[in-house]
Structure 1
Amino acid sequence: MTEQTTRVAAGPPAGRDPGPREALSAASRAADATARFTRRRRRPLLAAWLLLLVVAGFGATRLADALSGGGWFVAGSDSAAAAQRVTQGFLGRGATSLTLVVEDTRHHQGESAFDSRVRDAVNRVSRDPGLKISGTHGYTTLSTEQARAAFLGEDRRTALVRMGSALDDGTARRVLPAIQAQLSDAYEPQGLRVSLVSQAALWGEVNHLSERGLLRAELITLPIIALVLLLLFRSVAAALVSLLVGVTSVAFTLGLLAVLARHTELSVFVQNAATMLGLGVGVDYSLFVIMRFKDELRAAGPRPDADAVEHAVARTLRTSGETVVASGITIVAAMSTLFLVDLNVIWSMALGAVVVVAFSILASVLLLPVLLHLLGPRIEWGALGRRGPARTTAARPSRWATVSHAVMRRPLLFLAVSLTALGVLAVPSLKLETFTPDARVVPTGAAVREGYDTAKDQFGVGSAAPIQVVVESDVPLWERDAPAAARLVAFHDALARLPGAQRVDSVVAPLRQVSPERPFAALAPAAATALPADLRSSVRHFATGDGRALVLEVVGEDTASSESVRGLLESVRTTADAFAAGDGWRVHTGGETAEGVDANEVISDSLLPVVATMLAVIYLLLLITFRSVFLPLSAILMNLVSMAATYGVLVLVFQEGWGSGVLGFDTSGYLTNFVPVLLVTLLFSLSTDYEVFLLSRIREDYVATGDGTGSVARGMAATAPLISGAAVLMVAVFTAFAFTGILPIQQIGIGMAVAIAVDATVIRLLLVPASMRLMNRWNWWMPGRKDVGRGASRRPTADQPATDQPAMSKE
């Protein structure tokens, strides 16, 4: 970027005294007061900043242990009630339910060594004091081959044991990864693959992988950001200061979230999402502020003193500072609409986004001026290359103005080509499917993923995540009369006959063999003691000791997220509703599929209110900023087209499998359910950010000149370098997270990288000038107001924008 380009991008000529309206505005007075305060207290403020940074950084290291893998349950939903009910009173189930998968690569069932090796692994796990196992049920607790058959894999080398743990979910999630690592280290050399499989184990591994992925992403991202900043600033000091602001925003956010996570449930995804957004936005904001400050210093002369530095800081805060605040408020307002979704995982990520953007604003307009006062002219330390003299206004127009003029000469052509290209990308979005994450978010090779895949391969795809039907009775089942018991048996049989159901795992079939007429009489304490030991164990796994609750597990033919199993769930719920009518029965349907369907329903029901509220907020902010009816509408429509194209790319990469080859992404056949709604708010927030940046400059020029076409060209010439630089930073950050994070973070990262790239190229370079050329003076129409550009006489050159009035621009 040349010096002249930097000056043009930095707004009105540096050093110009503000006009009366600007000087008297509250924002200007606040900027001047902040400049004076940060100059006088710069050293104490710096010391406090560094101290808080250390404290926040220490707190941030403790965040991962406090995060939850939950957040998917919908409060008051059927699936949440089922999940809560199965935690108490069942053998092999507990506050945390585990499935121990033992695969012997050297022996098979029938050899004495197989049973002894499996039993040794089960005993070690069940006696581990860190797990607090309260009961087991499975291969090693049963004695007959017939009873064991349900817990022996098709390869006759794999055994399952269900375990109930007294650990709460949060504690289990923290301890399971370490215990799993110990089991792998102990048994893999012996030819045994021992895996703990459960939701707690899965999310514990997700936590672990998130931490590692976050570290890798930071190691990749920070050097890339530093390199881009060096190319933009052409000085080492400025690049380091900008990077420090971004790191500060993230550290403060993670430190605060670590405190909040001790008192409320926060999703594991909040850490990566907040870091990814914080690095992008924090560095982005500091980029605009520092660019403007450097320009102001150059205008103050070769040796600016402390007063000149303070004046430069004040001028910077009046212009770039105000725009950073306005932009940040826009993002915070847009992201806050996600609080309308009553789902903790989305609420958590919205909180992380709001907090990190708020800290990015504070760091840019309060902490950054402290460093600017301390450095002053030394902000140019470590300059790269030799600065040439500024170009004169008679020099040839910038390439950005040339592109803009070319587009506006044929606006219909470029509009049609751009919309067609984005429309082609958007077509796959019509097939977009969403669901909650399952074990496939963990890469192959992880023990919990291997255990999940082994269980799926050896016991059937659906066995890894059956639909759980919890039947509760007002009285013990053995006290039910014969007609009521017959209705329950008929309900069990009806579930087994549903299309897509492979089988129903329960205690009903063996109890019918004991007593065909009154099968549940065998649940009575006196009768239960007379049952064979294997049957007693099975009874206690599927029925509570008080006989008031029974679990029926419907095993489907496919994965929990598949269309067929979701159809099966609908049939199960319909059948359950018919059975529960009367007779004192209560039925809750849960399991992974039910949780996902309930969560998807909440997101789907909330999507329209979220989008409508967000668009209304953005429209009002843009209406106030530009005092135009149609420009905000145009901006929103272009963002919708860009959003559809982004969804289309995500469907191709993650749903259709295009990313599994060259890119190496895992594909699950669907997008994580929170990704589309999160991307909507993120994209509109950041795109509006750039929209304000570009259109403020165009409006400023149009107010001064009345030249609709020329103002667009000059506005693009003034803002394109910084928009491009900021976009490169954003794309670098999001892409780094996409290639180092777990699957949902990969989807967000790729989505944001694509969206920002499209916004900074197709939208800003082609659609904006083409649409503004076609709208002409209607761009600035407002009821009851004359054309803001009428009567203007001065027309700047293509490289020198008008400066008669201050505009809220990012520079």
Structure 2
Amino acid sequence: MRIEHAVDGDQPPKTAKEKPGTAPPKTGGVLARMGAVMATHAKWVFGVWLIALVALGSAAPTVFSSLAGAGWQANGSESVQVRELAQEHFGGNSSAAVQVVVHSDAEQVSDPAVQQVLDEATAVFADDPRFGEVIAPQPGMSISPDGHTGILIAGANASTDEMVKAVDELKAELTALSGDGIEVYPTGASALWSDFNEANHDAMIKAEMVSWPVTLAIMVLAFGSLVAAGLPLLLTLAGLVASAGGLVLLNEITPISVWAMNFAMMFALALGIDYALFIVARFRDALRKSGDPRAAVAETMDTAGKAVVLSGLTVLVSLSAVLLVPAPAVRTMAVGIMLAVTFVLAATLTLLPAVLGKIGPKINGGALPYAKRQQHRSPKFEAWGNVLHKHPWPFAIGSLLVLIALSIPVLGLKVAMPSIQVVPTDAPVRQGYELVQSQMGDGAPGMLQIIAPASEADSAAATARATEGVDMVTPPIPAMDGSDYVMLQAVPTVDPSDDAMGSILDRLRSDLPPQALVGGAPAENLDLQQALNDYLPVIIGVILTLGFLLLLVALQAPLIAILGTIVSLLSTAAAFGVAKLIFQDGHGAGLLGFTPQGFLDGWGPVFFFAMIFAIAMDYTVFLLSTAKEHYEESGDPKVAQVMGLAHSGRVIAAAAAVMVAVFFTFAFAEPLPPKEMGIILGVAVLLDAVLIRLVLLPVLLRLTGHAAWWSPAWLRRILPDISFSHG
């Protein structure tokens, strides 16, 4: 049976508290009053935002060149201690040192032509305070057995971030030394992050350029009006400019990873449009009923505005859990997204109400023919809500079976830090890496560094040589500053990203004398991966707990808050199950244009879990806040379920379409990390919107009835009184 409800010009239904014949006073809450103030004083709001955008926007163009390029480490780990000791006592011969591979098929390293190139490479590093000692290729250590390949090492005398910037500035000059049959390639961890960041930045920009017009097209179809469709994009752009400038300023206080802006661009575009879509859709409905722009803004902010605030808080809370991981790059990526979301949220709550109050009926400017017949209450989603109400079990079982089937592969998911395959084949660092492997062995690009007291030098060397998986150990090198340390370098028998590397590192650390420390680039990756694995259960627990508490505060109903949290977890598990099938097993790799590494990049579970859960809860708040508004007005769970879907279904579908379009544009990027990000987030949004928000969650509202909205008296007394109905 169809649910009849007031729409457009009809009189609103009476609330459960209202006596027949009595009109409720339209006072509204804090957000309603704030929205009315923004609409009344629009010029002041525009002025403040203009000043902020000019001030922050002046710094925004330098965002990618200013932000930090490294930070992929586990602070306090043994490998980081080794790097710090190497920089202090061994002339900077640490994992951050720049390795310059020089090779000639015709000449040997000792020949004059190659020596000339080595001298020119050494001159590139001269007088640059970021570099320490420059170590020429050494026989038996950094010269290949056939003598045709040598590695010059320029020590690191600055932070890892500064060393990446140094490579950014110098790698063109170094590769330009190639010629006359001699090849020159900068390699090492600093060079890897330089080429890695450059490739990902280029891919991000290309994907963003594609996603904007696609997004505008979806918005026009959803709103049926050019003005209504363009507003969310303009507001999102304002939020992005402000966040870019904010990140540059924040970088002056503490290093912020360049990946922070990459993620912020994508996430702010998707969420900013979500928020603006929800607000604009509700404003058009309120304006159609009242005809007064200021009153329409107040009603919009009192209803949809609350949902946006709670959604924004949920996103911020989810991402804040990532700050627990002791890895600078991971933490600052979360900070970047949180800053972007904060600016977008601020624009949605201040600038958008001001614009809406100013343009009023012009919101429908440039309307397409069908838009004049468009209502906030969607008849199609209302009909769908009635279908779900009539036949809940088949849809509940069907959606659960699909989600569980897609979640099962996650049990076999493997994670590891990115391999050399994440950079393009023509990147100098990859060419140098592969050249070193072909000339010196699979493990040569990822030598492990051992630092021990001088008194334990012989014991450490003998133990390292006897360790399974170690191909060669260099003689102990005394500290350059005269301190009581020696350094040995152990060459593994396997590629640095091979699964066996972890076992080799564990054996070395277990068997070496107690005061000997093992580090190097492969050890730093493994230590970071271990930290990510250790913190993942904690982060999941924190996110689930805080997400539940926010839903409980917002909805004042423990049962639906628990169910909303659990179903959000389902879409997250399913998305990672799909990620395992694609990126670990290689299904569809040919279509998507990549070679599978056999694992998912190590930071994926921690970071993507927070992002996916934040998005899932975003839609949960939109649907359940709308349903609660109708339950407050009618006291009927059927009205809440059907009309909640009728009034939010189109917005959720449009918002999901925008997010999927934005995320999937990254699926065709050449580098692997943006591809992983785009596909995992895109699949998550698609599954969440279609199977959970538009099927499973409404069905759960149907099956739980009044119990979904029940709350014990003691809980109501301690929770803040939040109502989603206006008046």
| TM-score, normalised via structure 1 length | 0.80
Please say if 1:691 is aligned against 2:620. Answer: yes
Deviation at residue 101 of structure 1 after TM alignment = 1.2
Deviations 1:291-311 (A, max 9, x none): 22222333345xxxxxx2222
Please say if 1:559 is aligned against 2:495. Answer: yes
Q: For 1:280-429, what aligned pairs fall within 5 Å after superposition?
A: 280-301=270-291, 308-385=292-369, 387-389=371-373, 398-429=379-410
Please say if 1:491 is aligned against 2:460. Answer: yes
Q: For 1:144-183, what aligned pairs fall within 5 Å after superposition?
A: 147=139, 151-152=143-144, 157-183=148-174
CA contact (8 A) 1:78 1:588 kept: yes
Name the counterpart of 1:799. Answer: none
CA contact (8 A) 1:130 1:175 kept: no
| TM-score, normalised via structure 2 length | 0.89
Deviation at residue 354 of structure 1 after TM alignment = 1.7
* Identical amino acids, percent of aligned pairs: 28
Name the counterpart of 2:719. Answer: none
- SS of match in other structure, 1:370: helix
- SS of match in other structure, 1:61: helix
Deviation at residue 590 of structure 1 after TM alignment = 0.9
Letter in 2 for 1:507: P
Q: For 1:447-596, what aligned pairs fall within 5 Å after superposition?
A: 447-472=428-453, 477=454, 488-504=457-473, 506-508=474-476, 539=477, 543-544=479-480, 546=482, 548-576=484-512, 579-580=513-514, 586-596=515-525
Name the counterpart of 2:115. Answer: 119
Please say if 1:682 is aligned against 2:611. Answer: yes
CA contact (8 A) 1:95 1:166 kept: no
Deviation at residue 407 of structure 1 after TM alignment = 4.0
Name the counterpart of 2:532. Answer: 603
Deviations 1:340-371 (A, max 9, x none): 22222222122112211111111011011222
Name the counterpart of 2:50. Answer: 50
Question: Matched residues in 1 for 2:284 and 2:316: separation?
Answer: 28
- Equivalent in 635, 639, 642 of residue 571 of structure 2: 642
Please say if 1:722 is aligned against 2:651. Answer: yes
User: How many equivalent pairs are there?
Assistant: 711
Name the counterpart of 1:807. Answer: 724
Deviation at residue 88 of structure 1 after TM alignment = 3.3
Q: For 1:210-225, what aligned pairs fall within 5 Å after superposition?
A: 210-225=200-215
Deviation at residue 84 of structure 1 after TM alignment = 0.6
Deviation at residue 170 of structure 1 after TM alignment = 3.2
Deviation at residue 569 of structure 1 after TM alignment = 0.7
Question: Matched residues in 1 for 2:9 and 2:445: separation?
Answer: 58
Deviations 1:305-331 (A, max 9, x none): xxx222222222222222211211221
Deviation at residue 722 of structure 1 after TM alignment = 0.6
CA contact (8 A) 1:659 1:667 kept: no
Please say if 1:435 is aligned against 2:422. Answer: no
Deviation at residue 547 of structure 1 after TM alignment = 5.9
Q: 1:417 to 1:233 in 2, by over 3 A?
A: closer
Question: Matched residues in 1 for 2:348 and 2:366: separation?
Answer: 22
Q: 1:194 to 1:610 in 2, by over 3 A?
A: same
Q: 1:545 to 1:719 in 2, by over 3 A?
A: closer
- Equivalent in 196, 213, 228 of residue 206 of structure 1: 196
Deviation at residue 251 of structure 1 after TM alignment = 1.2
Question: Matched residues in 1 for 2:633 and 2:621: separation?
Answer: 18
Deviation at residue 742 of structure 1 after TM alignment = 4.2
Deviation at residue 503 of structure 1 after TM alignment = 2.0
Deviations 1:528-562 (A, max 9, x none): xxxxxxxxxxx5xx653526221222222223232
Name the counterpart of 1:779. Answer: 708
Question: Matched residues in 1 for 2:460 and 2:45: separation?
Answer: 70
Q: For 1:52-71, what aligned pairs fall within 5 Å after superposition?
A: 52-71=52-71
Question: Matched residues in 2 for 1:10 and 1:712: separation?
Answer: 22
Name the counterpart of 1:35. Answer: 36
Letter in 1 for 2:118: V
Deviation at residue 153 of structure 1 after TM alignment = 6.5
Question: Matched residues in 1 for 2:553 and 2:43: separation?
Answer: 38
Structure 1 vs Structure 2 CA RMSD: 3.4
- Equivalent in 268, 276, 290 of residue 266 of structure 2: 276
Question: Matched residues in 2 for 1:11 and 1:283: separation?
Answer: 29
Deviation at residue 127 of structure 1 after TM alignment = 0.3
- SS of match in other structure, 1:195: strand
CA contact (8 A) 1:87 1:94 kept: yes
Question: Matched residues in 2 for 1:391 and 1:25: separation?
Answer: 24
- SS of match in other structure, 2:452: strand
Deviation at residue 753 of structure 1 after TM alignment = 0.9
Deviations 1:491-529 (A, max 9, x none): 32222222222222x215xxxxxxxxxxxxxxxxxxxxx
CA contact (8 A) 1:95 1:164 kept: no
- SS of match in other structure, 2:592: coil
CA contact (8 A) 1:226 1:240 kept: yes
Larger Rg: 1
- Equivalent in 229, 236, 239 of residue 249 of structure 1: 239
Question: Matched residues in 1 for 2:134 and 2:373: separation?
Answer: 80
Name the counterpart of 1:87. Answer: 87
Deviation at residue 243 of structure 1 after TM alignment = 0.5
Letter in 2 for 1:562: D
Q: 1:44 to 1:66 in 2, by over 3 A?
A: same
- SS of match in other structure, 1:71: coil
Q: 1:369 to 1:698 in 2, by over 3 A?
A: closer
- SS of match in other structure, 1:163: strand
CA contact (8 A) 1:734 1:753 kept: yes
